[in-house]
Structure 1
């Protein structure tokens, strides 16, 4: 089997530096491609350390990580497995709970759980993918905020002891950013797989089925695994990723819109399967798979850019907070907020 360009980069870097229970969303190949293409299409204003060939390949590998965690233990898996999906029904309700819209999405996981309990279900059954994506986005904004402040501190600091600390902490922050972004890319990628946005997640299930869609329990795996591995190569997916487009909206609006677009592809997927098109030699399958994987890579790229730009207005610290702008201008000294003031 041939290694992708990104994997060759990782293998070379390694050589130089060397001394379940729930269904997966995209297989290893699909998640890797979402991570690699999302990172490879970042624009030039995003920090350069995230755009090197090695960083791009690393993000692709980290994008597989939440699936590799599975089997760690009952508590570990139970807490995380429901982050991969959201079961939206044919009426657009979240597992019979609130409608899946920006206006009706409960503002926190606690509010979401309360709303679903009122409908007789809970978030562990319904999934909480939107919250996993929004949580990771907010973490990324904070990571970028620290990166901006540390970068400014390295430029401005005269004291050699503090400067040494800032340089080391900046490296730690860059390493953490790669990890946080890469692992979060998994959940963003989950959001482009239609079967992770539907109660019909593996065969149509015990629901009205007037169109006679398949009940095969192999549907989920065949679509996101072998079919995607065969059709979703990096070059083909990258060719389908458009230029970044700002949303000028809240992260909730961005995420709900993205996931709603994916949910709308559930029935077309089942129609394609019924028509016999869910095979790798069928051009309809090729178009469908590549469009969905490209949607994941596009969403990842867009959300990273959004987070980077939002971080320009970010703050760190506590009583008082200090802003990126104040540190960059020399108005605020970030030492105690970065090293710690206990």
Structure 2
């Protein structure tokens, strides 16, 4: 019998340390869980310990599957959310015939993106809006970490027993919410490492010029990201391929566009691999391709979480006026009204 994978070991350990939860042992479930677990378990030590704990790592791995488990909730729900998983870039690097996918030409908001697509007779539901799902998730995580920093400081500083108790309880709520937000966001980062989530050629080459005779099979996408991953990918081998932590010293948008562009450029190499007969579990080229993409997703998750944690040190909470993490930590500002509520 094979020994259990490291992600399964994390799940078993977490179950022993916390309330039991259902787990499924199946980019399908296996790929997203692996990216979540490996990304979270390799975070730098300055990221709060609850995120890096066995429970936190296991939770992030399971939540990383959540957006796929939402599917089938209903027409309104699915129609709004399904397009968050992909971005259809054409062979010229345009977003479904719309603007070029560069930092300079990326519309500032999803509404601006929808307007740009309508100008060329397209819409975001067909084109996908993965970059905006990633930006949204990053900004949410920065805010979650900001509140966490403020709550930690407030609980330490107050001498009021009732306030201290409320801060402690709200900190626990924030940690659970943060793991959920981080894990769901991890799904979209994982989608961004899968070339077929970044191209108009997402499931067979499609109705486009095809001089190289690439497959038109509508089973291409599912076979690659599901059964193939489950057959060949192992946690320790993927982890060994993860590059070292990298601080790009750039905006999140710059980092995100670079990451997704790298993935998009691997679309044709994937089709070449399939054409040569190499996209099968018994071919080492398939394993090398799958492992590298999973490692890229896990490393990007790790690096982007570290980026969000660092950014939260300069974060603010409240509304007119806002108060900063630094002012709360130094004792200059009392966050009670902004945390508990002014009304």
When the two structures are superposed, what TM-score results if normalisation uses the length of structure 1?
Answer: 0.96
- Residue 308 of structure 1 corresponds to 309
Deviation string for 1:192-230 (max 9, x for gaps)? 000000000000000000011011111101110111111
SS class of match (1:279): coil
For 1:1-342, list aligned pairs within 5 A.
3-14=4-15, 17-18=18-19, 26-342=27-343
1:130-173 deviation per Cα after TM superposition (whole angstroms, max 9, x unaligned): 00000000000000000000011111111101000101011110
Whether the aligned pair in 1 keeps the contact of 2:67 and 2:187 (CA below 8 Å) is: yes
Task: Tell me the C-alpha RMSD between the 2 structures.
Answer: 1.3
Matches of 1:165 and 1:267, distance apart in 2: 55
Q: CA deviation at 1:18?
A: 4.7
Q: CA deviation at 1:4?
A: 3.1
| Deviation for aligned residue 1:16 | 6.0
Secondary structure (helix, strand or coil) at the match of 1:103 reads: coil
**SS of the residue aligned with 2:30?**
helix
Contact 2:32–2:65 (CA<8 Å) still a contact in 1? yes
Deviation at 1:12, TM superposition (A): 4.9
Runs of 4+ in 1 over 4 A off after TM superposition: 15-19
C-alpha deviation, 1:7, in angstroms: 2.9
Q: 1:6, 1:54 within 8 Å by CA — same for their partners in 2?
A: no
Whole-angstrom CA distance in 1 between matches of 2:97 and 2:167? 50
Distance 1:3 1:78 in 2: 38
| SS of aligned partner of 1:313 | coil
Cα displacement (A) at 1:302: 0.7
- Contact 2:17–2:55 at 8 Å: present in 1 too? no
Contact 1:99–1:105 under 8 Å retained in 2: yes
Contact 2:7 2:235 in 1 (8 A): no
- Give unmatched runs, 5+ long, in structure 2: 21-26
Measure the CA separation in 2 of the matches of 1:134 and 1:76.
Answer: 20
> Are the equivalent residues in 2 in contact too, given 1:42–1:301 (CA < 8 A)?
yes
In 1, the alpha carbon distance for the partners of 2:294 and 2:13 equals 27
Long gaps (5+) in structure 1: 20-25
Could you say what secondary structure the match of 2:112 adopts?
helix
Partner Cα separation in structure 1 for residue 337 and residue 35 of structure 2: 39
| Conserved 8 A contact 1:113-1:123 | yes
Q: Alpha-carbon deviations, 1:299-340, whole Å to 9, x = none?
A: 101110000000000000011110000000000001001101
- Change over 3 Å in CA distance of 1:286–1:114 after alignment to 2: same
Q: Is the 8 A contact 2:10 2:57 kept in 1?
A: no
Given that residues 147 and 174 in structure 1 are in contact (C-alpha distance below 8 angstroms), is that contact kept between their aligned partners in structure 2? Answer: yes
Shift of 1:15: 5.7
Deviation of residue 10 (structure 1)?
A: 2.8
Q: Deviations over 1:97-141 (max 9, x none)?
A: 011111100000100000000000000000000000000000000
User: Does the 8 Å contact 1:6/1:53 carry over to 2?
Assistant: no
